[in-house]
Structure 1
Amino acid sequence: MTLSLAMITVDTADPLPIARWWAEQTGGSIVAENEGWFVTVTLGDGQPMLAFQKVDDPTPGKNRIHLDLTAPDRAAEVQRLIAAGATLIAEHEMPEFSWTTLADPDGNQFCVATAGTH
């Protein structure tokens, strides 16, 4: 049996604003709002969807799973994300690989690296 990744779901107290933020940042679009309790964002053909699920008490602290994203110009993309409401957490450097850790407006951490370096 083979599994395929279809959707990545994030728990949040208020799904619609954070779904809108991620849709805007990824060039995706909201495809279902489900009265605000489960909002899904499509990222395009062949890519998993993002979903934001309303929960009364989101898990506190650092998220255990995070998104690793890439961009052709990491520095420009990081600046764009910060201007859009992301928070810079840290810059990381290793031989032949570097990445930036950010948090979205809801506090969920994610990383951005230069495309082709993973």
Structure 2
Amino acid sequence: MTLSMVTFDTTDADSLATWWAEQTGGEVVERNDGWFVMVAGGSLPVLLAFQKIEDPTPGKNRIHLDLTAEDLDAEVDRLLGAGATLVARRGDESFRWVTLADPQGNQFCVAAADHV
């Protein structure tokens, strides 16, 4: 098997797909009337998909993205400025990562690229 897509459930597929496209340098490549929106390109090794649902599953998401950045602190600052929220700064001097949440509360982690 090969991983080809990661899908998020969301109440607003268009806006969340647009947010992720802006953050990864990708682009929205398919909209399907706003019910199933796909993002590709940029720094993404796979497609991201956003599926509109009426009632999101409560609680923390069970699958999350682990991303890397050349300058962890600058990237976290940029994401926070773009509407992400800080969940926690983690690790120590040997390995640091930051857990954030996108505008709809989906958590994801960003680590320093030189520690992965």
Instruction: Output the TM-score relative to the length of structure 2.
Output: 0.95
Partner SS for 2:103: coil
Structure 1 gap ranges (5+): none
* Percent pairwise identity: 60
Shift of 1:61: 1.1
Residue in 2 that maps onto 1:115? 113
2:15 pairs with 1:43: no
Aligned residues: 116
Partner SS for 2:78: helix
Contact preservation (8 Å) 2:64, 2:107: yes
Residue in 2 that maps onto 1:25? 23
Contact preservation (8 Å) 2:61, 2:106: yes
Structure 1 residue ranges, 4+ long, deviating more than 4 angstroms after superposition:
none
Structure 2 gap ranges (5+): none
Instruction: Output the TM-score relative to the length of structure 1.
Output: 0.93
Q: C-alpha deviations, 1:26-81, integer Å up to 9, x for none?
A: 00000000000000000359811000001111111110000000000000000000
Q: 1:44 to 1:64 in 2, by over 3 A?
A: same
Q: C-alpha deviations, 1:73-92, integer Å up to 9, x for none?
A: 00000000000000000000
Aligned match of 1:65 in 49, 63, 80?
A: 63
Aligned match of 1:89 in 87, 90, 114?
A: 87
